A and B are shown apart, each in its own frame.
Chain A
Amino acid sequence: MITLNINNKPYNVNVSPDTPLLWVLRDTLGLVGTKYGCGMAQCGACTVHLDGTATRSCLLPVSAVGKMKITTIEGLSQKQDHPVQQAWLELDVAQCGYCQSGQIMSAVALLKQNKAPSDADIDAAMAGNICRCGTYLRIREAIHRAAELQRKKG
């Protein structure tokens, strides 16, 4: 039995320790907001936070999580009012929407480190997240907007 802290709640899971966190979230716990895209940390669709740091969950054995706090897209806010979610909605970023959980989790992690990222900072931080629909321009703009919303919020 492995105990995980996900979105500030304890979960006990009985899975093989080599199971990637992604599949524990999706198959075992039904937290399907975290997406499968490539299974080799190439596309970023599975991005979650471990103690606030963006991490690809598709390659991370659940046994390696230990006591670290896991945050998934479901735990970002109760009412879709996290500044990054708000900015995403304001700019109506999504097309198909499949990659956006991962994009948002990467963006939230970036804005924790860097309160006012430049385009170059955003490009570097977001280069690991593929959007097949090509919403990159709006993602970039939404990150700038989220930074602004975050500053206003203080």
Chain B
Amino acid sequence: MNRRSFLKSSTLAGGGLMLSFTWLSAFKSAGTTGIADLPGDWVEINGYIKITPDNTIKILNPNPEFGQNVMTSLPMIVAEELDADWKKVVVEMGPHDSVKLGPQFTGGSNSVRMYWRPLRQAGAAARHMLVEAAAQTWSVPVEEITTKGGMLYHEKSGKSGTYGSMATKAATLAVPKDVKLKDSKQFKVIRSAQKNVEGAKIVSGKPLFGLDYQQKGMLIAMIHHPPGFGMKLKSYDATAALKMPGIRDVFTQKLYEDGFEQGGFDTRSFNDLLVVVGNTTWEVMQARKQLKVEWEPAGETKDTMGGRGQKREVVVPGTLESTADQLKKMQEYAAKPAQQLRKDGDPETAFKNAAQIIERTYTAPFLAHNCMEPMNFFAHVTDEKALVAGPLQAPGWSEPTLAKLLNLPADKIEIQMTRMGGGFGRRAYGQYMFEAALISKKVKAPVKLVYTREDDMTYGIYRPMYTATYRAALDANKKLIGFHVKGGGIPEHAIHANRFPAGAVDNYLAEGWQIPSNITIGAFRAPRSNFNAAAEQSFLDELAEAMGKDPIDFRLKLLQRAKEAPVGRNNEYDAARYAEVLRLVKEKSGWGKPENAQYSRGVAAYFCHASYAAHVVDIVMKEGKPYVEKVTSAVDCGIVVNPDAAANMVQGAVVDGIGNAFYGGLTHKDGVPVQNNFHTYRMIRMPEAPKKVEVHFVQNDIDPTGLGEPPFPPVFGAVANALYKAASKRLYQQPYAPQLETPKAF
């Protein structure tokens, strides 16, 4: 549906009626990079590419979009091998169809990585078929045909034709098994800066997101969940709520029946759902406030987990946790023996013989994802089938559980993937889709489940609470002879035992411990790494200082050791690539000579998701507070598909990192999250964003590796190290801002 008819419909509907429009059509129509109206006569060549006789080329994006720009970058990869004219390509969001379209998940910085080869092959195969169709039509050898910008040429005979003119014939040919892919030197689309194909829709407010989904007769549902973790519903009185205007029903619904075998991503926070259903969002919000509810401690409960690994019972403690107790408990656990994760050489002896031991402990709080679009999902479930639509990072991970919950075969379930208003890991867990589907099934109507901001922030699935103690043993010559990290967390630790500086130190020990909790956690942009890079990179900075070394040279020396004579086995990182981002950031930031003498500088680097990132952070004092004015970033993520969009994502990761390092944190009081909206959960805002974030990519021909996550973790360490220079005080606890805003810190 185009804009005009959308607006026309809304004019006609003025006067209080619910609008109805075919939302999927809106998806299909305007994802174009130049062509306005789509002809109806598509010739499907394979799962990803459609070409019309008038030479319109449509490419499906297989993967959910949450701002990492896959709607643009993945089709670009196809267009490259297809030799299509990118300006004429129409992009469409693909359906959820893991048979035709692959794994279809957004997470782990995987999108470009996992689709890189399949999409190139798809594009190359389609091109090959078009070439063969032209060769047959023109009765000329296949080898003599060339392609460019969606055109086929036979130079000798002077013949030429559009892809569209050969599309019908090409569709009758066999898909080639092996096709030659381009050499990276031939790339025209890949490595060129291309604009977001949904940019025009975003700046004009088109319905793109799950929360924008509307359907005739659709009801709105909200869940009234317990105020705190470890609590459950005792009783409720809905008399007043049911009398409120527009309210249809109030009822309880179990998410999982007892003993239900949950999949690996079926994290739940609360199992007994108290549901309010009504006509509009505002009416449901108001009615929910009229519920009279009693809560009670849930006590110890059990989850039955299947999915990854074997079926097992997991005990969920009943404690009503408070942050002060959590910190105390972490100190207790830190003093106990822990699980050994890696050991090289003889760390015990190294520490026994050390002339100097440096030991520092770092902590970081739970973090809420705070996607700008709160969790929501549309569901229309009948006895025969289910249609669900909304923002989800990994539909395929949740689909088996949805099918089990609804008692429907997977082929009777259609999942539509909407654009997501952020994800950051939160939307890898589809429990809000299950909730919506169960509610729709119960009320026998199409329903959109909406979380308010408060629901969203207090529903759990946070970044875990972490701590780690780092120890370094130095000999009398201030040489590093032993390294020990012991990390823990609620409910899991963050240790990546096989990452730098593992492999660079002869005597190395990594240990981990964890404390069970009823506070649910999940992936948060660069899981675990986002804490490690803060703690470890702060520690290395302090270590370099104690050893009288430059922090970059110190790391480079260790990396040289890891490259030339790596210690131990299973080192995850490539020491040469790691060193290169440090060298690049050193050069580009003018490390020894900042452009502004007022700058307090800090550096950090990290490896995760197969990529490497380093930042130099420059801090000045602004209105009495430290302000990150400039950041210089160096990133190695292999071939960069869409450089300007990639730079945008790195800049965003830097801002996100500064924000979370300074302000991020969710605390608890008797199980209740203390922060529940943006007035108490501080987010980074425009005045705190740097003036400049310069992004430099290492130029190489390595197949693309991750980008959404890798630049995020080292921001924390670089910020901490720059704050040390600014404040002459090391910071060991996140978030940093509350400690800095006490004048004593300076």
Give A residues with C-beta under 8 Å from B: 1, 9-16, 19-20, 23, 26-40, 42-43, 45, 72-74, 76-78, 80, 85, 88-89, 92-101, 104, 119, 122-124, 126-140
Task: Say yes or no for B259: interface residue by CB 8 A criterion.
Answer: no
Closest 3 CB pairs of A and B: A33-B205, A134-B655, A30-B19
Establish whether residues B67 and A32, one from each chain, have CB atoms under 8 Å apart when the complex forms. Answer: no
Closest chain A residue, CB of each to CB of B4: A78
Closest chain B residue, CB of each to CB of A14: B16
For the complex, what is the distance from the CA of A23 to the CA of B220, rounded to whole Å? 12
CB neighbours of A140 from chain B (8 A): 686, 689
With contacts A29-B14, A85-B204, A132-B370 known, is A119 near B652, CB below 8 A?
no
Establish whether residues B280 and A130, one from each chain, have CB atoms under 8 Å apart when the complex forms. Answer: no
CB neighbours of A74 from chain B (8 A): 7, 204-205
Task: Say yes or no for B104: interface residue by CB 8 A criterion.
Answer: no
- Among the listed B3, B18, B659, B687, which residue makes an inter-chain contact with A134, where contact means beta carbons less than 8 Å apart? B659
With contacts A19-B282, A136-B655 known, is A10 near B14, CB below 8 A?
yes
Could you write out 13 A-B pairs with CB less than 8 Å apart? Answer: A16-B282, A30-B9, A30-B19, A32-B207, A37-B453, A38-B677, A39-B677, A80-B203, A89-B199, A94-B203, A95-B652, A132-B422, A133-B656
Establish whether residues B68 and A95, one from each chain, have CB atoms under 8 Å apart when the complex forms. Answer: yes
For the complex, what is the distance from the CA of A40 to the CA of B10, rounded to whole Å? 27
Closest chain B residue, CB of each to CB of A92: B195
Establish whether residues B686 and A23, one from each chain, have CB atoms under 8 Å apart when the complex forms. Answer: no
With contacts A124-B687, A139-B686 known, is A11 near B14, CB below 8 A?
yes
Given contacts A37-B453, A94-B67, A94-B203, 18 further A-B contacts (CB under 8 A): A1-B15, A10-B14, A12-B14, A12-B15, A39-B677, A72-B205, A73-B203, A74-B204, A76-B204, A89-B199, A92-B645, A92-B648, A96-B67, A97-B202, A134-B651, A136-B689, A137-B651, A137-B693
Establish whether residues B687 and A40, one from each chain, have CB atoms under 8 Å apart when the complex forms. Answer: no
Establish whether residues A97 and B419, one from each chain, have CB atoms under 8 Å apart when the complex forms. Answer: yes
With contacts A29-B19, A134-B654 known, is A95 near B677, CB below 8 A?
no
Establish whether residues A129 and B686, one from each chain, have CB atoms under 8 Å apart when the complex forms. Answer: yes
**How would residues 648 to 663 of chain B score, 1 for a CB under 8 Å from any chain A CB and 0 otherwise?**
1101111110010000
Establish whether residues A98 and B282, one from each chain, have CB atoms under 8 Å apart when the complex forms. Answer: no
Establish whether residues A133 and B652, one from each chain, have CB atoms under 8 Å apart when the complex forms. Answer: yes
Closest chain A residue, CB of each to CB of B66: A96
For the complex, what is the distance from the CA of A31 to the CA of B206, rounded to whole Å? 9
Closest chain A residue, CB of each to CB of B420: A96
**How would residues 196 to 228 of chain B score, 1 for a CB under 8 Å from any chain A CB and 0 otherwise?**
101110111111110110100000100000000
CB neighbours of B214 from chain A (8 A): 30, 32
CB proximity of A57 to chain B, nearest CB, Å: 12
CB proximity of B670 to chain A, nearest CB, Å: 24
With contacts A32-B212, A72-B205, A89-B200 known, is A43 near B648, CB below 8 A?
no
- Among the listed B14, B281, B371, which residue makes an inter-chain contact with A9, where contact means beta carbons less than 8 Å apart? B14
Task: Say yes or no for B42: interface residue by CB 8 A criterion.
Answer: no
Establish whether residues B66 and A137, one from each chain, have CB atoms under 8 Å apart when the complex forms. Answer: no
B311-339 with Cβ < 8 A to chain A: none
CB neighbours of A76 from chain B (8 A): 204
With contacts A37-B453, A104-B203 known, is A132 near B15, CB below 8 A?
no
For the complex, what is the distance from the CA of A131 to the CA of B684, rounded to whole Å? 8
CB proximity of B693 to chain A, nearest CB, Å: 6
CB neighbours of A127 from chain B (8 A): 685-687
With contacts A38-B677, A76-B204 known, is A88 near B199, CB below 8 A?
yes
CB neighbours of A134 from chain B (8 A): 651-656, 659, 684, 689
With contacts A38-B678, A97-B202 known, is A136 near B686, CB below 8 A?
yes
For the complex, what is the distance from the CA of A84 to the CA of B220, rounded to whole Å? 34
Establish whether residues B14 and A100, one from each chain, have CB atoms under 8 Å apart when the complex forms. Answer: no
| A to B contact number (C-beta, < 8 Å) | 221
Establish whether residues B67 and A97, one from each chain, have CB atoms under 8 Å apart when the complex forms. Answer: yes
CB neighbours of B13 from chain A (8 A): 29-30
Establish whether residues A40 and B679, one from each chain, have CB atoms under 8 Å apart when the complex forms. Answer: yes
CB neighbours of B653 from chain A (8 A): 134
With contacts A29-B13, A135-B652 known, is A96 near B453, CB below 8 A?
no
Establish whether residues B205 and A73, one from each chain, have CB atoms under 8 Å apart when the complex forms. Answer: yes
CB proximity of A113 to chain B, nearest CB, Å: 17
For the complex, what is the distance from the CA of A1 to the CA of B17, rounded to whole Å? 12
Closest chain B residue, CB of each to CB of A134: B655
Q: How large is the interface on B (under 10, 10 to 19, 20 to 34, 35 or more residues)?
A: 35 or more
Give B residues with C-beta under 8 Å from A: 3, 7, 9-11, 13-19, 21, 66-69, 195-196, 198-200, 202-209, 211-212, 214, 220, 245, 280-283, 285, 370-374, 419-424, 452-454, 644-645, 648-649, 651-656, 659, 677-679, 683-687, 689-693
CB neighbours of B422 from chain A (8 A): 96, 98, 132-133
Establish whether residues A123 and B648, one from each chain, have CB atoms under 8 Å apart when the complex forms. Answer: no
- Among the listed B10, B16, B67, B205, which residue makes an inter-chain contact with A95, where contact means beta carbons less than 8 Å apart? B67
Closest chain B residue, CB of each to CB of A20: B282
CB neighbours of A130 from chain B (8 A): 372, 678, 683, 685
For the complex, what is the distance from the CA of A28 to the CA of B453, rounded to whole Å? 21
Establish whether residues A35 and B10, one from each chain, have CB atoms under 8 Å apart when the complex forms. Answer: no
CB neighbours of A135 from chain B (8 A): 648, 651-652, 655
- Among the listed B7, B14, B280, B419, which residue makes an inter-chain contact with A96, where contact means beta carbons less than 8 Å apart? B419
CB neighbours of B655 from chain A (8 A): 134-137
- Among the listed A29, A92, A94, which residue makes an inter-chain contact with B10, where contact means beta carbons less than 8 Å apart? A29
CB neighbours of B654 from chain A (8 A): 134
Establish whether residues A27 and B18, one from each chain, have CB atoms under 8 Å apart when the complex forms. Answer: yes
Establish whether residues B204 and A73, one from each chain, have CB atoms under 8 Å apart when the complex forms. Answer: yes
- Among the listed A1, A13, A85, A94, which residue makes an inter-chain contact with B196, where contact means beta carbons less than 8 Å apart? A94
Establish whether residues A12 and B16, one from each chain, have CB atoms under 8 Å apart when the complex forms. Answer: yes
Closest chain A residue, CB of each to CB of B199: A89
Establish whether residues A137 and B15, one from each chain, have CB atoms under 8 Å apart when the complex forms. Answer: no
CB neighbours of A97 from chain B (8 A): 67, 198, 202, 208, 419, 421
With contacts A32-B212, A94-B199, A123-B687 known, is A42 near B677, CB below 8 A?
yes
For the complex, what is the distance from the CA of A51 to the CA of B282, rounded to whole Å? 25
Establish whether residues B687 and A31, one from each chain, have CB atoms under 8 Å apart when the complex forms. Answer: no
Establish whether residues B420 and A13, one from each chain, have CB atoms under 8 Å apart when the complex forms. Answer: no
Residue among A74, A78, A137 with the most chain B CB within 10 A?
A137
Establish whether residues B10 and A30, one from each chain, have CB atoms under 8 Å apart when the complex forms. Answer: yes
CB neighbours of A137 from chain B (8 A): 651, 655, 689-693
Establish whether residues A9 and B11, one from each chain, have CB atoms under 8 Å apart when the complex forms. Answer: yes
CB proximity of A130 to chain B, nearest CB, Å: 5
Closest chain B residue, CB of each to CB of A104: B203
For the complex, what is the distance from the CA of A132 to the CA of B373, rounded to whole Å? 10
CB neighbours of A27 from chain B (8 A): 18, 220, 280-282
CB proximity of B231 to chain A, nearest CB, Å: 23
CB neighbours of A26 from chain B (8 A): 281
For the complex, what is the distance from the CA of A119 to the CA of B199, rounded to whole Å? 24
For the complex, what is the distance from the CA of A96 to the CA of B424, rounded to whole Å? 11
For the complex, what is the distance from the CA of A78 to the CA of B69, rounded to whole Å? 25
Establish whether residues A123 and B679, one from each chain, have CB atoms under 8 Å apart when the complex forms. Answer: no
CB neighbours of B693 from chain A (8 A): 137
CB proximity of A106 to chain B, nearest CB, Å: 10
With contacts A30-B10, A96-B422, A122-B686 known, is A39 near B651, CB below 8 A?
no
CB neighbours of A29 from chain B (8 A): 10, 13-14, 19
For the complex, what is the distance from the CA of A26 to the CA of B282, rounded to whole Å? 10
For the complex, what is the distance from the CA of A23 to the CA of B644, rounded to whole Å? 36
- Among the listed B18, B209, B374, which residue makes an inter-chain contact with A28, where contact means beta carbons less than 8 Å apart? B18
For the complex, what is the distance from the CA of A57 to the CA of B211, rounded to whole Å? 17
- Among the listed A39, A129, A138, which residue makes an inter-chain contact with B648, where contact means beta carbons less than 8 Å apart? A138
Closest chain A residue, CB of each to CB of B689: A136
